[in-house]
């Protein structure tokens, strides 16, 4: 088995912590697959929110490291990421498209 080395300690891939993390990731992926088969719009909304979280995280990381940057390239990239993410965020707002069928608001906006 391969070993991960952190601070001089060896940690096997089959350690209980790593297996627990792998099981958690597998459960999340299976749940997302099942959601996509039942309600694709809900799955799409979850995927859009995950993408927005990645964009926001990149912006925060680049924003916090702007003092140690030698040039402004990554600052421009970080600003452009948040601008594109702010354009993409309203796209993920799926109210009225049948995600919450039990809601009267969703029924009143649904063109069916």
Q: Provide the 10 A C-beta neighbour count for residue 59.
A: 19
Per-residue pLDDT of the chain (112 residues; tens, 9 = 90+): 455 555 545 567 677 788 889 999 999 999 999 998 988 888 888 888 888 899 999 999 998 998 888 888 988 988 998 898 888 777 666 455 555 555 545 445 444 4
One domain for residues 54 and 109: yes
One domain for residues 33 and 64: no
Q: State the distance between the two ends of the chain, measured CA to CA, in whole angstroms.
A: 57
pLDDT at 9: 54
One domain for residues 105 and 64: yes
One domain for residues 72 and 45: yes
What would the two tokens of residue 63 be? 């924003």
One domain for residues 57 and 102: yes
Domain that includes residue 32, residue range: 1-38
One domain for residues 48 and 82: yes
**Total domains in the fold of the chain:** 2
Tell me the average pLDDT of the chain: 77
The whole-model pTM stands at: 0.63
Enumerate helices (H) and strands (E) in the chain, giving the number of each: 4, 2
Q: Chain centroid to CA 8: how far?
A: 32
């Amino acid at each position: 088995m391969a070993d991960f080395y952190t601070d001089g300690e060896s940690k096997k891939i089959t350690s209980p912590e790593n297996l627990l993390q792998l099981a958690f990731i597998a459960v999340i992926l299976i749940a997302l697959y099942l959601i996509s088969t039942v309600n694709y719009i809900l799955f799409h909304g979850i995927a859009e929110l995950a993408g927005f979280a990645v964009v926001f995280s990149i912006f925060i990381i680049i924003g916090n490291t702007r003092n140690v940057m030698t040039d402004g390239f990554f600052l421009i990239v970080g600003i452009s990421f948040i601008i594109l993410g702010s354009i993409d965020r309203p796209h993920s707002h799926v109210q009225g498209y049948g995600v919450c069928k039990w809601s009267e608001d969703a029924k009143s906006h649904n063109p069916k």
